[in-house]
Amino acid sequence: MLHTSQPTISEHIRNLELRLECQLFDRLGRSIMPTLEADILYPRALAILDDIKKLEEEVSSAGKAISGELIIGASTIPGTYILPKIAAAFKLQHPGVSFEIRTNDTAQVVNSVLSHEVLLGIVGAKMVTKKLNYHPFIEDELVLAASTKRKIGPTITTRQLQELPFLMREEGSGTRKTIEGFLAQKDLDIDQLDICAVLGSSAAIQEAIKSDLGVSIISRYAIQDGLAFHQIKEIPVEGLPMQRNFYIITAKKRTLPNQYQAFFNSMLNQQ
């Protein structure tokens, strides 16, 4: 049954007896009789073999089942305005999953993936590192936004931006890094703007715009409510289109568990 020779079986038994420091069989001429120690060992050995089989089945099924916790790091815009809808749709298809979305600025999300605190991140700007894969995700557009109460022309030049009170995101924000890149194309440094306030979230910037504290370059996703209720207006900046990609980031040397891989594929299908 085992496709093993009798001498090999005998050797295995001898090795087991040496390991356990007891005799498992009494040799009675051409027959053998199990000892008391063998009677104790046999049912326990069967239970161990059953446990090994169950473990193999569980490990095998773990690679196929789409269930378990998904911890996702995300910068403010995708974490607040994009991921919740995608997560809700994914959970409808796979009720066995649960989500934790950790919202931070881009630099913190990148660090959490590099330190393996999270396996997936979504950010709005690329940071210089060779240890991460950046996968283009949903496109976004940054716009100059102002309160509908503010008197300002229908369009504006990049030089006129310096004349406006500006609301800016904090250092480490992907939006801020992207704004710096766009302004640099027009030989304009962020320090040349009249920054009247630095705020830690896009929601805070939207509220400050509504109150006419200042203007800001911000994701259209973040001001949808303000636009819909005519509290905020867009002002095109001449010669400065500001499209960007959000990116899904993963560590190059990490393998995604099955539920993460399925969610990753689901996000790529949103493009």
Q: What is the pLDDT, as a whole number, of residue 92?
A: 94
Q: What is the pLDDT, as a whole number, of residue 257?
A: 87
d(CA 97, CA 83): 15
Mean pLDDT over each residue of the chain, to the nearest integer: 90
Q: Return the exposure string of 26-39: e unless at least 16 CB atoms fall within 10 Å of the residue's CB, then b.
A: eeeeeeeeeeeebe
d(CA 115, CA 247): 18
Taking the C-alpha atoms of 45, 48, 53 and 57 in order, what is their torsion angle to the nearest 10 degrees?
170
Domain at 6-62, CATH from 1.10.3470, 2.40.128, 1.10.10, 1.20.58: 1.10.10
Nearest to 72 by CA among 60, 58, 86: 86
CATH of domain 140-243: 3.40.190.10
d(CA 188, CA 208): 24
User: Long-range contacts of range 264-271, CB-CB < 8 Å, 24 or more positions apart?
Assistant: 264/120, 266/86, 266/89, 266/90, 267/86, 267/122, 267/137, 268/135, 268/137, 270/86, 270/137, 270/138, 271/136, 271/137, 271/138
Quick: pLDDT tens for 22-62: 999 998 888 889 999 999 999 899 889 888 988 887 776 66
Q: What is the pLDDT, as a whole number, of residue 62?
A: 65
Higher pLDDT, 116 or 59: 116
Top CATH class, 68-138+246-268: alpha beta
Say whether pLDDT at 159 is over 70: yes
Ranges of CATH 3.40.190.10 domains, the chain: 68-138+246-268, 140-243
H/E element holding 27? strand 25-28
Quick: pLDDT tens for 122-133: 998 888 888 999
87 confidence band (pLDDT: 50, 70, 90): very high
pTM: 0.68
201 confidence band (pLDDT: 50, 70, 90): confident
What is the 8-class DSSP label of residue 190?
G
Higher pLDDT, 57 or 115: 115
Quick: pLDDT tens for 223-261: 999 999 999 999 999 988 888 899 999 999 888 888 899
Ranges of CATH 1.10.10 domains, the chain: 6-62
Taking the C-alpha atoms of 112, 117, 118 and 121 in order, what is their torsion angle to the nearest 10 degrees?
0
